[in-house]
Amino acid sequence: MIDADVVVGDRREFESDDFMDAIDPVLPYGFRLAYGMLRNRDDAADVVQEATLNAWRHWRSFRTGADVRPWFLAIVANQCRQTVRQHWWSVVRKSDLVAQSSETGEAPSEEVDNLRRGLRKLSHADRLVLVLRYYLDLSFSDVAAMLHTSPAAARVRTHRALARLRPIIGSAEDLDDA
């Protein structure tokens, strides 16, 4: 008489399975964003883990039918900011030194090194919009969905962030996406 296709069991376990099924496909995006922001593999994995827990705690308020990716990436971005705040950034940590020394054997070109240092000096908001656009390859619509703004505003923010990056890296003509 009844064609049951979903088990109604313990409510929390039942919802957590659903939650993981929804979050699983966007975990790699979350990690890429966290790595783009922090440039540390362990920190990025920790951030994704913590962001997943935060997402679970707010899962019931997630609007059914909405896109999970921008929602989850926004949580990851917020977690990255928290992580940065928690660290005493004037101290160079041992793990950073190990990570930096274990990067590609070749020394980075001056251009890449400048860009890397420039990104590190940008504010969280500016770095976020550039990482979303140029490291995660998101469209302006997707960036807008994540930042809760319009695509036009996302485009403006991106260009302003690029403009702020130019003087830092001292290469005005190289950073223009027009």
Partner 1 sequence: MRESKLRTKFRDAIGEEPAPADLRMRTQAALKRELYGPRDRRLDWIPAVVAVLLGIALIASLLAIGAYRRAQAPTVSSPALSPALVYVQGQSAWQAVDWSGREHSSVGSDHVGVPYQSPDGSRLVWSAQGVWQIVDSRGGLLSSPDLSRSRGFTWADDSSGICVVEVINENPPNGGTYQLGFYSTAGEFRPIASLATQKGPNIAACSPTAGRVVITTASGYKDAPSEVRRITFGEIVIFDFKSGALLRRQTFAVGSPATEVNTVSVSHDGTVAALRTEAQTSIIRLLDGKVIARATGVTPLAFSWDNKLLVVEGSGNRGEVLQVLTGELLWRDSTSRVTQGAVADPRSSAVMLFVTSGGLNDLLVVSPDGSARVIATAVFPAQIAPCPDCTAF
- What residue ranges bind partner 1 (CB under 8 A)? 1-9, 11-13, 15-16, 19-20, 23-24, 27-28, 31-32, 35-36, 39, 41, 44-45, 48-49, 52-53, 56, 60-61, 64-65, 103-104, 108-109, 111-113, 115-116, 119, 130-131, 134-135, 137, 174-177
Nearer to partner 1, 74 or 165 (CB): 165
Secondary structure of the chain in HEC code, one letter for each residue: CCCCCCCCCCHHHHHHHHHHHHHHHHHHHHHHHHHHHHCCHHHHHHHHHHHHHHHHHCHHHCCCCCCHHHHHHHHHHHHHHHHHHHCCCCCCCHHHHHHHHCCCCCCCCHHHHHHHHHHHHCCHHHHHHHHHHHHCCCCHHHHHHHHCCCHHHHHHHHHHHHHHHHHHHCCHHHCCCC
Nearer to partner 1, 9 or 105 (CB): 9
Nearer to partner 1, 49 or 149 (CB): 49
Q: How far is the CB of 66 from partner 1 (least distance, A)?
A: 11
Q: How far is the CB of 150 from partner 1 (least distance, A)?
A: 20
Nearer to partner 1, 112 or 152 (CB): 112
Q: How far is the CB of 62 from partner 1 (least distance, A)?
A: 9
